[in-house]
Amino acid sequence: MTSSAYRMTGLAALFAVTGCSTPTEIFALRCDVTVDDISPQPATVGASVTLTGTPFTSTYDSAVYVGGERATVTDVARTNCTNCDSCRIQNGCTECQDCDACDAICASECVETVTFDVPELPAGDYGVQLFNAHGQSPVLDLTIQSTGFEGTDTGSSDTGDTGTSGTVPSP
């Protein structure tokens, strides 16, 4: 057998083996993550900011980015969601599906929040995006305000300054 005939026989065997196997599909629960509110707005560095929306998961698989900088997620909460979850199970709906039978219950009772700390960034406008096991949110706007303590304080214009170092006027 020539070497090219040997290669062709090997390729045919490879296709025969792979052609007989049935591919296995793995379905991942992926959907649009919605954020309806970001509060407080504006915020300062280190402040806790809360995103309200759906579907949220847990602290360990949620990531929030502010202007490309990863923020620390401190809490993910689902409040009053028992009736919504029960309705979804009863109607065979997942967190990612529109479930008309449960829309009214879920929208009026269930509140899902993600809380994060604003990372160390200069004052300005930033995009905020949430990622979790379900997917990702669109980019939202967050304004980071100056705390007012960024400059050098000379103390010369402070109220109560006597002009002498280390002394405070008596009452």
Q: How confident is the model at residue 150 (pLDDT cuts 50, 70, 90)?
A: low
Say if 41 falls within a structural domain.
no
Tell me what percent of the residues of the chain surpass a pLDDT of 70: 69
What is the distance between the alpha carbons of residues 135 and 54, in angstroms, rounded to a whole number?
Answer: 11
Give the length of the chain. 171
Is residue 135 classed exposed, middle or buried when 0-12, 13-18 and 19+ CB atoms within 10 A define those classes? middle
Residue that the structure tokens 């000379």 belong to: 154
Say if 1 falls within a structural domain.
no
Q: How confident is the model at residue 147 (pLDDT cuts 50, 70, 90)?
A: confident
Say if 14 falls within a structural domain.
no
Say if 79 falls within a structural domain.
yes
How many distinct structural domains can be found in the chain? 1
Is residue 78 classed exposed, middle or buried when 0-12, 13-18 and 19+ CB atoms within 10 A define those classes? middle
pLDDT value of position 126 = 97
What is the distance between the alpha carbons of residues 114 and 59, in angstroms, rounded to a whole number?
Answer: 8
Say if 126 falls within a structural domain.
yes
Element holding 17 (H helix, E strand): helix 3-20
Say if 23 falls within a structural domain.
no
Q: What is the mean pLDDT of the chain?
A: 80
Q: How confident is the model at residue 15 (pLDDT cuts 50, 70, 90)?
A: very low
pLDDT value of position 164 = 46
Residue type, 75: D
Q: Which domain holds residue 114?
A: 53-145
pLDDT digits (tens, 9 = 90+) for 80-129: 999 999 999 999 998 888 899 999 999 899 999 999 999 999 999 999 99
Q: Quick one: tokens of 135?
A: 């997917």
Say if 106 falls within a structural domain.
yes
Say if 85 falls within a structural domain.
yes
Element holding 64 (H helix, E strand): strand 63-66
